[in-house]
Amino acid sequence: MNRDKVTLVGAGGRMGQEIADVLLGNPLLTLGAAIESEESPLLGLPVPSFPDLSYDADLGRGISRCEVGIDFSSPANLRSTVEGFVQAKKPLVIGTTGLTVADRDFVRDMGAHIPILWSPNMSLGVNLLAILSGQAARALEGFDAEILEIHHRHKKDAPSGTALFLGEAVASARKGSLSDLGVFVRHGLTGERDEGSIGVMALRGGDVPGDHTVFFLGPGERLELTHRAESREVFARGAVRAAAFLLGRPTGFYTMADVLLSGEGQGP
């Protein structure tokens, strides 16, 4: 069976290596190009999971060899990467985190040209957690909402994009926005909790791939919805499934919720 090829941007990073490992055994997709920055010490070296392929800095050459892309590089590379795929008219999955509002708007706008998917978290479970959190926020009117996330000590942004994603799901369900309702720091004599506020708190330490809990706290009871990632492989599997989902799709902006609800991209 012929497998469609993936251009993997940021192939030498932690997530890039996980995605390459997942592609090794995927029935639908395989790695066709491993792209790294021009400054990377990996350039020219073989990809561990695919020793016949070497890390390369030529994005255009990588795109020309493949049918779909996955980008897990950095926000600084986002626009040039997207523009490369738009020029080639090929679909792209973006798992890069730390994007600004302007970056996200740019990605959505590019859905007018190619099938493009972005999510702050590629885990299917996290995206289901966002859906369930929105449902709970609507059903539990008057309950206080708080979000707690834990990540490894090397994570550079806080709160995580996933925590903000969950906060936005809760805020939207309550006809508000996280920018207006979010509370990200509590210290000292803060006074009583503002009604309707959404606390988003970050813990950092160890090697935790990602834990997220959404609390709904009411009089005499509370509901806790939790997702725990045991390894980065869950994000890699989700990204590969998203890439398979995009193949053959019409132009448009997609999210992992579309992948989750479609039930497609899983392979035989």
Write out pLDDT tens, residues 202-233: 999 999 999 999 999 999 999 999 999 999 89
Indicate if 100 and 202 belong to the same structural domain: no
Write out pLDDT tens, residues 92-132: 999 988 888 899 999 999 999 999 999 989 999 999 999 99
Indicate if 137 and 170 belong to the same structural domain: yes
Indicate if 36 and 102 belong to the same structural domain: yes
pLDDT value of position 266? 54
Structural domain for 133, as ranges: 124-229
pLDDT value of position 264? 60
Question: 52 in a domain, yes or no?
Answer: yes
C-alpha–C-alpha distance, residues 90 and 93, integer Å: 10
Question: 237 in a domain, yes or no?
Answer: yes
Q: Could you tell me the CATH number of the domain that includes residue 50? A: 3.40.50.720
Question: 267 in a domain, yes or no?
Answer: no
- How would DSSP label each residue in 158-216? SS-HHHHHHHHHHHHHTT--HHHHEE----SS--SPPTT-EEEEEEE-TT--EEEEEEE
Low-confidence residues of the chain: pLDDT under 70: 1, 264-268
C-beta separation of 107 from 75 below 8 A:
no
C-beta separation of 244 from 268 below 8 A:
no
C-alpha–C-alpha distance, residues 9 and 56, integer Å: 10
Question: 176 in a domain, yes or no?
Answer: yes
Indicate if 223 and 151 belong to the same structural domain: yes
Indicate if 43 and 166 belong to the same structural domain: no
Indicate if 113 and 240 belong to the same structural domain: yes
Chain-centre distance for alpha carbon 27: 22
Question: 79 in a domain, yes or no?
Answer: yes
Indicate if 225 and 244 belong to the same structural domain: no
Show which residues are catalytic: 151, 155
- Beta-ladder partners of 63: none
Indicate if 45 and 109 belong to the same structural domain: yes
Total domains, the chain:
2
Indicate if 151 and 189 belong to the same structural domain: yes
The token pair at 79 is: 């626009």
pLDDT value of position 161? 87
The token pair at 32 is: 């066709």
pLDDT value of position 267? 46
The pTM for the full model equals 0.86
C-beta separation of 210 from 150 below 8 A:
yes
Q: Could you tell me the CATH number of the domain that includes residue 221? A: 3.30.360.10
